[in-house]
Amino acid sequence: RKKVTLQHLHALRSARTPITVLTAYDFPTGRVCETQGVDVTLVGDSLAQVCLGYDDTTRLTLDEMLHHVRAVARGSRTPLLVADMPFGTYLASPEEAIGNAVRLVREGGAEAVKMEGGLEIVETVRRLTSVGIPVMGHIGLLPQRHVMLSGFRAQGRTAEGALEVLQTALALEDAGVFAMVLEAIPHTLGTYISQRLTRAATIGIGAGAGTDGQVLVWDDMVGTWHGGHKAKFVRRFADVGAEAARGVQGYMAAVRERSFPALSESYGMPKAEWEHFEQ
C-alpha cells in the first residue's frame, strides 16, 4: 500500500470515494489502522476520556498527547497521521499554535494537526499552513467548549445556526485547511457544506452520509467499554467489551479450578535431573 498523502485524499474526494478516518491512541490501535488500510489515523483528544479517564478533553496536556502520538506513529505509517491540538495549546496566538504544532510534528511524528474552532482561529490556520503544517479543521459541536455550549449538543439546527456553520466552513477552506471534521450537525447541512466546498474534504461524525468521509472514536466503534452516554451518531461495529469480559471470567474460573495452566503450558525437566534435585 502506498503512503496516504494530501494529494491522495483530494483524489478520493474528487472520485467521491468516502475517506475512512479512525482514531487511535497507542501502538496496537495504530497497527490496526495500518494493517486494515484506514486512510487517516487521528490521535484525537478523545484520548482524554477513553484512555486516560478524564471527564472531558480540557484536562489533556500537550505532553500527554505527545506521549500517545509517538506510540501511534510507530504503528501507523501508511495512513496520514493527524494529531489533535489539546485545549489551550493554540488559542492565545498563532505563535503559540505554531510552537505547539511543531512539537506534535517533530517530537510526535504527526503529519498534520487538527483544531476546533471557527472564525477566531482562521488567522492561526493561515499561519500554520503557510509554514507547511497541514491543518484539519473541526466545526459544529466543539467538545473542548462543551461548557460554553451547555453540553454536547447538535449544532446548526436553526437557519441562523446552519448559516453560521456554513460560513465557518467556507472561511476555514479559504484559510487553507485540507479537510475539516463536521461534528453533530443536521445531515442536510453536512451534505450541503460538502457540496459548497471546492477543495477541503469534509469528515463527518454525526453529520450524515453525504460528507466526503467519516470518523469514529476507536472505543465507540469497537465497543471497548459500555457505560456512559452513547451518542446518536455512534455505531458499534464490534463488541470487544463483551468479549474481554468473557475472557476475564474464563481466566479467573480456570485459575480457581486449577485447569490453568495445563501441563502443555508448563515447563518440564529431565527425570534424572529431578531425582538428583530431590536427594
Residues annotated as catalytic are 183
Indicate the residue among 238 and 254 with the shorter CB distance to ligand KIV.
Answer: 238
205 binds ligand KIV (CB under 6 A): yes
CA distance linking residue 48 with residue 240, whole number of Å: 20
For position 215 contacting ligand KIV by CB under 6 A, the verdict is: yes
Selected binder of ligand KIV within 101, 104, 181, 207 (CB under 6 A): 181
Find the part of the chain contacting ligand KIV (CB under 6 A) among 38-46, 122-130, 170-178, 186-194: 38-46
Residue-by-residue DSSP string for 223-248: TS---SPPPTT---S--HHHHHHHHH
Query: Is residue 85 a contact partner of residue 104, using CB atoms and an 8 Å limit?
Result: yes
* One-letter amino acid of 214: Q
DSSP β-ladder status, 40-43 and 19-23: parallel
For residue 45, state whether it binds ligand KIV (rule: CB under 6 A).
yes
Of 31-39, 44-52, 159-167, 187-195, the window that binds ligand KIV (rule: CB under 6 A) is 44-52
Residue nearest to ligand KIV (CB): 44
Q: Binding marks (x or -) toward ligand KIV, 73..92, rule CB under 6 A?
A: -----------x--------
Size of the site for ligand KIV (CB under 6 A): 10
Q: Find the binder of Na ion among 34, 38, 39, 44 (CB under 5 A).
A: 44
Cβ atoms of 21 and 52 closer than 8 Å? no
Judged by CB under 5 A, the residue of 39, 84, 111, 173 near Na ion is 84
Return the bridge partners of 114, or none: 84, 136
- How far are the Cα atoms of 41, 44, 49, 272 from residue 114, in angstroms, in the given order? 12, 8, 18, 66
